[in-house]
Chain A
């Protein structure tokens, strides 16, 4: 037995130096490593693997590792695609899969507590027996863990309604080399909530040993459809309209022309034939080649090899494919609410052709099957990979074209658009090329640079790992000081997953200059419903300036934004209540940092909250609503108004504000195209009464009272105290 094994076993009895265990921990699902394996290379191996079974074992191990200077690599199910969880030479891999228990469930609160090594499908199976679900449904659900979801800011297929995994986690317990931390709803009073920092830290700060996850009852109704649009631009407009009309679809996925054709998704027999024989032949060739790439057909080696070696030609063929693009869209929840949302959405989808329920249900049945399509490409000498970027609606077309062009120089590429937000959307590129490591690396260098230049984030939900470390650091710039300041406290020895995430620092720069604009509102981005505002201006002055443009703040603070945001915990907000989008702030030494290029970036942790603490904000970018949107304000009497509020949120209602202005009373503000129909349902079923929206807004943000109310409401959903539309 080696000295290292002996030392580790004092803290974690189950440990191994067996070459089989080391070999297995030397690789995750980073396609570069899969390609290397295909090329006959074995991965570098760690020194040993251990399997803790309890938090105290993890804590003891990390304390020892920090003191001894031994690198530690946390390992879940190894489903990461960026090389973030790979045992490196000299390291101890902490395999968390023996910590796989559901610790407990608070049925009143609808919160389940789980250990990090629990596989996603096993959590869902367990919840299904209770009639519950997280509705976090990544395509990796069979092969990824709860801890990995949190560590890499995972997103599932129903994120538009339920949020990314980070939005579902109400609290965590995290072991670090310097001690244990409790986050979110467990954050000790007066301490910084480190939840946003640990979420997305990819094991570089500590090891998550427990996550408390919001769960929802099984939806009473699901409505799913496919729609064919004549081109991407028309479909993008529809997606944006649906999101900005506050209609909260559970699913919204748009497939590019190639992906639509390959999947045979629109089944459009009435589409006009290609005008020329050459075009028809090209279409047939492209269809065949891309089908081969997707592994949909019995793939012939020569056909696939030809496709992989001639990506430029193939992409040009794809450009000529034309034809429709397919949108999958759906709602779920309480039948009356779903009906209201669908009724409000149908006019916004008018530009598309309804393909019926089967198109949507087909997607639903096969929603996890996409991952099967990768292996055949490696088998036949190529590589396949995916890249998920995101940006605002106004930059989306440019980002799509830039990245597609960059990827297309090296690989055959197709894309779909999913994870939509009122402010923007993510793009998921799938690409395949001839299997050499040089080509693989060149593809990524070009693609990451093109995403940065086009104003997108380099990752929406796959995380950073090794693959995107430099690009993510460049994206975040001076804001990385927030991360490194805390890293120095949590992991002073730098033993946590070294060489991943932000080990490679970009040179510190002066950062962006102070905003030039005068007045409370600096810039308004109408298409994205975002405004850059002065964080120290009064809310009234901001509202007034916005009202002149027909806009209003989505969430109205009761004090200057800088103070208002500083007083709130991030976990106090729900996904549909994004409190702010971007921030520019200046450190005491005069250097500045800016964050917020895209909704829900996974380029490491969410550093916005730390930046608010560490530097003086000089610009906050906030989400807006249009003043001409339908709004309804209601009051509902109830002995337990917070419980009623929770029940409505669980049923899929997404009010723009919800509060208890006085005992026994719940006040809701509904905004968007479905507001009237939803209000009618609440009036009929719950005896709700309309309130004049023009009446003075009850100023809920008494932080103490609101926090008390919220503590009860965290149960299912975190509730905002922002009074949104001011009813």
Chain B
């Protein structure tokens, strides 16, 4: 494993002010440096591997620490590597067959059927790729195990273009190097207000939030393994949003922010509302 765990462990925590988890939770263990230090200690056999895996799961993969680091240390990737090293790979479902013949493929991951509405809106056929585990994104942390899974996804989507508004699914599509487009980009311009994009890519025209932590905590292993801290992060993010509704294309972000009391619009809602006859 990388020597960069040492670099971060000995660093005076110069990125901690940008870590959404460390800031929102107030937990010292959640700073990037302390997460990396826990991995280092586990490497040296000084703490149980299970603790290191839990420490490394305090990350949302937002990348704020990496962008700030003078040395460019890839903290999220290193923590993912540590999680893979210290924990067992998750089991994921096989990629389902695509339903329909349309070139555009709606990746439907939250139980709602929006492909017909999209087809009506675009005036072209849209097929469906259903998934209940975000195309098996949990496997991404175990890259060596993920290769066959990604190859299967590649084969299934061959010659087509995926449509999604879920950053977990998009992460898998990217890893499989298949063409994809975000749903709200297809529908744009559907709303004029600010848009909450995942992983710090904040797009708030004219809003002075560029230096604030903008991760909502819904991604990475944090939400699944430390849900109470993920809720802290969502509350902190919601508190920084403008009072007017914000659109969040990503389902996980949207749900986290809504649970934290924010008014958040959903492109799928918008799609379904504007095409009421297509909601069947």
Chain A residues near B (Cβ < 8 Å): 18-21, 23-25, 29, 34, 37-38, 40, 42, 49, 51, 75, 77-79, 95-98, 100, 117, 119, 121-122, 125, 129, 140, 142-143, 368-369, 371-372, 374-376, 378-379
Please classify the interface of chain A as helix (H, G, I), strand (E, B), loop, or mixed, using the class held by over half of its residues: mixed
**CB atoms of B6 and A23 under 8 A apart:** no
Closest to A125 in B: B211
**CB atoms of B26 and A379 under 8 A apart:** no
A20 to B21, CA, bound (A): 15
Q: In chain B, residues 12-45, which have Cβ atoms closer than 8 Å to a Cβ of chain A? A: 12-17, 23, 25-29, 31, 34, 37-38, 40-41, 44
A379 to B211, CA, bound (A): 31
A-B CB pair tally, cutoff 8 Å: 108
Q: Which residues of B contact A51 (CB under 8 A)?
A: 26-27
**CB atoms of B10 and A75 under 8 A apart:** no
Decide: A37 near B13, CB < 8 A? Known: A19-B47, A42-B46: no
Decide: A24 near B27, CB < 8 A? Known: A19-B47, A40-B44: yes
**CB atoms of B13 and A23 under 8 A apart:** no
A120 to B211, CA, bound (A): 14
**CB atoms of A142 and B10 under 8 A apart:** no
Q: Which residues of B contact A79 (CB under 8 A)?
A: 12-13
**CB atoms of B11 and A95 under 8 A apart:** no
Decide: A29 near B12, CB < 8 A? Known: A20-B29, A372-B71, A379-B3: yes
Shortest beta-carbon distance from B277 to chain A in Å: 46
Q: Which residues of B contact A37 (CB under 8 A)?
A: 9-10, 37, 40-41
Nearest first, the 10 A-B pairs at minimum CB distance are A97-B26, A24-B28, A98-B26, A24-B29, A378-B10, A375-B10, A20-B29, A143-B13, A375-B11, A24-B34
**CB atoms of B14 and A23 under 8 A apart:** no
B74 located at the interface, meaning its Cβ lies under 8 Å from any Cβ of chain A in the complex:
no
Shortest beta-carbon distance from B265 to chain A in Å: 25
Shortest beta-carbon distance from A28 to chain B in Å: 10
A376: contacting residue among B7, B9, B16, CB under 8 A:
B7
**CB atoms of B54 and A20 under 8 A apart:** yes
A143: contacting residue among B12, B29, B46, CB under 8 A:
B12
Closest to A16 in B: B27
Closest to B69 in A: A372
**CB atoms of B28 and A21 under 8 A apart:** yes
Closest to B33 in A: A143
**CB atoms of A371 and B14 under 8 A apart:** yes
7 pairs, CB–CB < 8 Å, chain A vs chain B: A20-B54, A21-B29, A23-B41, A42-B46, A49-B28, A368-B14, A379-B3
Q: Which residues of A contact B37 (CB under 8 A)?
A: 23, 37
A368 to B68, CA, bound (A): 12
Q: In chain B, residues 35-81, which have Cβ atoms closer than 8 Å to a Cβ of chain A? A: 37-38, 40-41, 44, 46-47, 51, 54-55, 70-71
Decide: A21 near B44, CB < 8 A? Known: A37-B9, A142-B14, A375-B10: no
User: What would 20 more interface pairs be, CB under 8 Å, given A97-B28, A143-B12, A375-B6?
Assistant: A18-B29, A20-B38, A20-B51, A24-B29, A25-B28, A40-B46, A79-B12, A95-B27, A96-B26, A98-B26, A119-B16, A122-B17, A125-B212, A142-B16, A371-B11, A375-B8, A375-B10, A376-B7, A379-B7, A379-B10
A119: contacting residue among B17, B34, B41, B54, CB under 8 A:
B17
State the interface size on chain B (CB cutoff 8 A): 36
Decide: A95 near B28, CB < 8 A? Known: A38-B6, A379-B6: yes
Q: Which residues of A contact B17 (CB under 8 A)?
A: 119, 121-122, 142-143
A219 to B31, CA, bound (A): 33
B159 located at the interface, meaning its Cβ lies under 8 Å from any Cβ of chain A in the complex:
no
B111 located at the interface, meaning its Cβ lies under 8 Å from any Cβ of chain A in the complex:
no
**CB atoms of A34 and B23 under 8 A apart:** no
B206 located at the interface, meaning its Cβ lies under 8 Å from any Cβ of chain A in the complex:
no
B205 located at the interface, meaning its Cβ lies under 8 Å from any Cβ of chain A in the complex:
no
**CB atoms of A374 and B12 under 8 A apart:** yes
B208 located at the interface, meaning its Cβ lies under 8 Å from any Cβ of chain A in the complex:
yes
Q: Which residues of B contact A95 (CB under 8 A)?
A: 26-28
Q: Which residues of A contact B3 (CB under 8 A)?
A: 379
A21 to B226, CA, bound (A): 13
Interface string of B130-145 (1 = CB under 8 A from A): 0000000000000000
B23: contacting residue among A49, A119, A129, A371, CB under 8 A:
A119
A125 to B214, CA, bound (A): 14
Shortest beta-carbon distance from A298 to chain B in Å: 11
Decide: A23 near B26, CB < 8 A? Known: A29-B12, A371-B12, A379-B3: no
**CB atoms of B11 and A374 under 8 A apart:** yes
Shortest beta-carbon distance from A696 to chain B in Å: 53
Q: Which residues of A contact B12 (CB under 8 A)?
A: 29, 79, 140, 143, 371, 374-375
